[in-house]
Amino acid sequence: MPDWEKLVREQLAGLNLGHEEEDEVIAELAGHLEETYEALRREGLAEGEAVQRAVSQVTNWSDLQRKIYCARAEENTMNPRTSRLWLPSFVTLAASIIALVAFGFLGLQPGPLGSRPHHEEWSRGGITSGPHAVNEYTVWLMVLPFVGALGARLSSRAGGTLRDMVISGVFPALAWLTIVLIVLSFAASLERGVETVIAPVGPVGLIAVLVLIPGACLLLGVMVYHAAAKRWTKSVA
């Protein structure tokens, strides 16, 4: 059996799409040729004849190359990386921020990320202490798995890999990490900086509250979505 990917790659050498997109087109067409070949073999054709019949589906490779280029490149307004990674990531980030702000407006009590008497609440004890067992932070954490799953879904729908899905899903935590690191380095340069900004949780607590715990919730959503999608795909196949 020939190396179908190699064959298609050679024939479409001048396709000139983005590297990733070109690989996808080649893999898809090679898969089609392989399935055709296998079906012909099942019908009893000899290997050579099956290969020839499969390849004869394309009489003019340069014409096919031109048509594929026209269909994919000319009307394409968004490259695959944008649709699989950046767009879902920013949607996830926006959804997480909107959720947090919305819970503040709904009148839930602020937690360590409190929106009303922020600094007072922080200095009074933050996440675990204080009179409010269920605060906006807790509710936000409960919503984050859905936000993570949304990012994974958008990435997967655009053809993203598991890596793209994970990055898209946990992107808000990565953004928070960047902000925390900037704040910590800025606070460290102030005279009383660290104590003012991060007390009483400390740098580790701050990273846990803003990055690790939300990140774990987002990742949970991504993994649950991934497992469900995998099960669904298996059942369809």
Partner 1 sequence: MIGAGTKRGTAELAILSVLESGSLHGYEIAHRIERRTRGKLRFTLASLYPLLYRMENKGLVRGAWEVSGNGRRRRCYRLTAAGKKKLLPLRQEWSELFRALRQLAKVANA
d(CA 102, CA 105): 5
Using rule CB under 8 A, residue 58 touches partner 1: yes
Q: How far is CA 107 from CA 59, 97, 115, 127, 134, in A?
A: 67, 16, 10, 17, 12
Using rule CB under 8 A, residue 14 touches partner 1: no
Using rule CB under 8 A, residue 1 touches partner 1: no
CB of residue 39 to partner 1, shortest distance in Å:
8
**Who's near 222: CB < 8 A, 6+ residues apart?**
148, 149, 151, 152, 165, 166, 168, 169, 170
Q: Which is nearer to partner 1, 106 or 237 (CB)?
A: 237
Among 6, 13, 31, 117, binds partner 1 (CB under 8 A): 31
CB of residue 58 to partner 1, shortest distance in Å:
5
Given a contact cutoff of 8 angstroms between Cβ atoms, the answer to whether 135 and 111 are in contact is yes
Using alpha carbons, select from 80, 88, 67 the residue that is nearest to residue 19.
Answer: 80
Using rule CB under 8 A, residue 67 touches partner 1: yes
d(CA 142, CA 164): 23
Among 3, 28, 47, 195, binds partner 1 (CB under 8 A): 28
Applying CB under 8 A, which part among 25-33, 87-95, 121-129, 130-138 lies near partner 1?
25-33
Count of beta carbons in the 10 Å neighbourhood of residue 234: 8
Q: Among positive and negative, which fits the CA dihedral 120, 122, 128, 134?
A: positive
Count of beta carbons in the 10 Å neighbourhood of residue 12: 21
Given a contact cutoff of 8 angstroms between Cβ atoms, the answer to whether 180 and 187 are in contact is no
Among 157, 195, 227, 231, binds partner 1 (CB under 8 A): 157
Using rule CB under 8 A, residue 134 touches partner 1: no
Applying CB under 8 A, which part among 56-64, 120-128, 135-143, 181-189 lies near partner 1?
56-64
Using rule CB under 8 A, residue 168 touches partner 1: no
Among 127, 158, 170, 218, binds partner 1 (CB under 8 A): 158
Tell me if residue 203 falls in helix, strand or coil.
helix
Using rule CB under 8 A, residue 72 touches partner 1: yes
Q: Which is nearer to partner 1, 68 or 216 (CB)?
A: 68
Q: How far is CA 154 from CA 42, 48, 148, in A?
A: 38, 43, 10
Using rule CB under 8 A, residue 27 touches partner 1: yes
Among 19, 43, 44, 59, binds partner 1 (CB under 8 A): 59
Residues that bind partner 1 (CB under 8 A): 24-25, 27-29, 31-33, 35-36, 39, 57-60, 63-64, 67-68, 70-72, 75-76, 156-159, 230, 233-234, 236-237
